[in-house]
Amino acid sequence: MGIRAGVVGAGLVVMSLLSAGCSDDSPTVDPQDDPVTDPTDGNEVPSLPPPGSIPDAGTPPPDEDGGTPDAGRIPDAGTNPDPDGGTGETPDAGPWPTDAVLDYTRSFGAGKPQSVGVDEGLNLWLLDGRRIGVLRPGDTAPTWTTGVGQAREPFGDTALATGASVICGGEAGRAYVGYTANEMKRAEGIEQRTYIPWSGEAGYSPERFAEYQKGDLDAVRVQPDGSVTLEEHLWRTTGASNKDRQAGIHNTNDFHYEEDRSVLNCARVTRGRDRGDLYITTNHGVTRIQGLTYNSHRHPGWYLYEDGSEWGSLQCPYMHGLGIGQNGDVLVANEQMLGVLAPSPKLEDWDRELTWDGPTPWKFKSYNEALNGQATDDYWRAFEQVTSGRYYLGSAEYGVWALTPKSRSAGNWSKLAGLPTNRIQSLKATDDGALYIGTNGAGLWRLEADGTTLAQVRDVSGQRVLQMVYEPNVKPSMLLVLTDQGLTVLRGP
């Protein structure tokens, strides 16, 4: 998107919205595409000012560059996860080899997929365009199925999807497959770009109504023979107005608004109270999913006011950055802003935006003022929290940055030194306190728990790290590393 500071008029007002999430084309919404609504009407409302900017989101570090590695420990970030994943049972090694490093592309014929996931039954899921592969415990090679769900027809601008994006494991035997779609366009007689009239309403047309079904997310199931079938194209959401409306993923607070069309990232909660929940980030925000029911969405947007206009344009760039904090907080980052959300146990609470309060408050919401102004893209691609409590964000253009919050809306930032490139694709925190760093062009790196010792992981082939998935519920734990050369699994600690 580039710098937009030149068009700022009356000023920049931070909003109560948080987005995250793998396309580099991240358009800002058009002026007045998202009207300011009553505070009780979902999440499209302005932020209230932080209550005195009270520094209750973390202990301030002792110096200006983010402090020592453990100075960023956040009191409510939780202790190190229990080794049993909250189940009360001692985990075992699981069904997969326990080699410290094993190339699954060579050993199991996993190929070079674009995305990988693992479900609660430890089935490994592979996504390669219109093909879905499953590598089950005991299999010597994956079984591939083509043309499931949104991929049942070739991808294209007028098809059900322009492409497949990511795959995430769910409960045992289930996976979720994300797809992309073109942005909604304005239609004659309809003021809002993303608004779709229902049948019988003013402005209805079959062509526009069909847009409901494009992109979004499929739930798929593995069959006894290893093949994959569609379980359901997700459409069930909370809220009485959405009852029985089979219209894909759309705004939970008003089904007319088709904003979340392209799935960019996904993460399954692997332990704790919310184990099994899935989060996806999209072209607009972050959606929470339990089973086959979703609640969409939250985002950390802000309003851009141009040329003195009293009407602001809601800025919600594509969201790629997504992580689960040490205590189950949801970490999200779009191209410009980032935030930490504390989810309630109830799915219906997810989109209830009351900024710093309410059932799902923002614990932190801001931007990296040490890097760029708010109207400039930071290209965040990953957001993780290590066991010390410190946060790390990875940018596609500006490297890895450590964050220690000093209030709910400001933090101390410091750039990690020693990497050979600023092009970061993925990050993953592990239970030994380390942070794995996936670069675009310089392979995989590991930052030790001391926050300073950095070394390349040379046993993993490939220069471009596409994705990392961590499964802590086996011992040694599994870190799936997907690169341009295929899939490698690291075991330990």
Out of 40-54, 169-183, 285-299, which region has the weakest mean confidence (pLDDT)? 40-54
Question: How many percent of the chain have pLDDT more than 90?
Answer: 75
The answer, yes or no, to whether residue 4 has pLDDT greater than 90, is no
Assign 3-class secondary structure to 262-327. CEEEEEECCCCCCCCCEEEEECCCEEEEECCEEEEEECCCEEEECCCCCCCEEECCCEEEEEECCC
The more confident residue out of 260 and 64 is 260
pLDDT in tens, 429-448: 999 999 999 999 999 999 99
One-letter identity of residue 414:
S
Token output for 113: 């997929």
Would you place residue 9 in the very low, low, confident or very high pLDDT band (cuts 50, 70, 90)? very low
C-alpha span between 99 and 101 (Å, rounded):
5
Average pLDDT over residues 191-204: 94
The answer, yes or no, to whether residue 194 has pLDDT greater than 80, is yes
C-alpha span between 190 and 186 (Å, rounded):
7
User: How does 54-88 read in b/e, with b if 16+ C-beta sit within 10 Å?
Assistant: eebbbbebeeeebbebebbebeebbeebeeebeee
Of the candidates 263, 272, 271, 269, which has an alpha carbon nearest to the alpha carbon of residue 291? Answer: 269
**308 CB neighbour count, 10 Å cutoff:** 8
- Number of residues that make up the chain: 493
Distances from the Cα of 122 to the Cαs of 84, 136, 137, 174, in angstroms?
Answer: 16, 7, 7, 11
C-alpha span between 30 and 193 (Å, rounded):
8
The answer, yes or no, to whether residue 46 has pLDDT greater than 60, is no
C-alpha span between 435 and 449 (Å, rounded):
7
Would you place residue 301 in the very low, low, confident or very high pLDDT band (cuts 50, 70, 90)? confident
Average pLDDT over residues 58-79: 35
Average pLDDT over residues 19-24: 31
Give the helix/strand (H/E) hosting 427: strand 424-429
Question: How many percent of the chain have pLDDT more than 70?
Answer: 82
Beta-sheet pairing, 101-103 with 236-237: unpaired
Distances from the Cα of 239 to the Cαs of 217, 261, 348, 407, in angstroms?
Answer: 19, 20, 8, 34
C-alpha span between 30 and 20 (Å, rounded):
19
Distances from the Cα of 390 to the Cαs of 74, 164, 412, 439, in angstroms?
Answer: 7, 33, 11, 20
Cβ(197)–Cβ(207) below 8 Å: no
Out of 189-198, 266-275, 299-308, 474-483, which region has the weakest mean confidence (pLDDT)? 299-308
C-alpha span between 391 and 216 (Å, rounded):
29
C-alpha span between 59 and 79 (Å, rounded):
16
Average pLDDT, the chain: 85
- Which residue is associated with the tokens 């209030």? 407
Residue 89, pLDDT score? 56
The secondary structure of 191-256 as a DSSP string is SSTTB-PPTTSTT--HHHHGGGGSSEEEEEEE-TTS-EEEEEE--EESSGGGTT----S--SS-TT
Token output for 352: 């209830």
Average pLDDT over residues 101-127: 98
The more confident residue out of 59 and 168 is 168
Would you place residue 223 in the very low, low, confident or very high pLDDT band (cuts 50, 70, 90)? very high
C-alpha span between 453 and 471 (Å, rounded):
24
Ramachandran sector of residue 328 (left: φ over 0; alpha: ψ -120 to 50; beta: rest): left
pLDDT in tens, 70-107: 333 333 333 334 444 444 455 799 999 999 999 999 99
- Which residue is associated with the tokens 């093909």? 131
Residues 75-82: contacts with CB under 8 Å, at least 24 apart: 76/327, 76/363, 77/325, 77/326, 77/327, 77/329, 77/385, 77/389, 78/325, 78/326, 78/327, 78/328, 79/326, 80/326, 80/387, 80/431, 81/271, 81/272, 81/326, 81/431, 81/472, 82/271
The answer, yes or no, to whether residue 50 has pLDDT greater than 90, is no
Residue 86, pLDDT score? 44
Average pLDDT over residues 375-393: 97
Would you place residue 240 in the very low, low, confident or very high pLDDT band (cuts 50, 70, 90)? confident
Average pLDDT over residues 292-297: 97
Report how far apart the first and last C-alpha atoms of the chain are (Å, whole number): 40
pLDDT in tens, 310-369: 777 878 899 999 999 999 999 999 999 999 999 999 999 999 988 899 999 999 999 999
The answer, yes or no, to whether residue 12 has pLDDT greater than 60, is no
Residue 306, pLDDT score? 81
Kindly report the pTM of this predicted structure. 0.84
C-alpha span between 406 and 318 (Å, rounded):
26
Degrees, nearest 5: CA angle 286-50-250: 20
Report the half-sphere exposure of 135 (CA within 13 A, side-chain side): 21
Q: What is the DSSP letter of 425?
A: E
Please list the residues that pair with 180 across neighbouring strands.
Answer: 163
The answer, yes or no, to whether residue 374 has pLDDT greater than 50, is yes
Residue 71, pLDDT score? 33
Out of 28-42, 109-123, 450-464, 479-493, which region has the weakest mean confidence (pLDDT)? 28-42
Average pLDDT over residues 398-424: 97
3-state secondary structure of 437: strand
Q: Would you call the peptide bond into 250 cis, given omega within 30 degrees of 0 as the criterion?
A: no
Cβ(47)–Cβ(354) below 8 Å: no
Give the helix/strand (H/E) hosting 175: strand 174-180
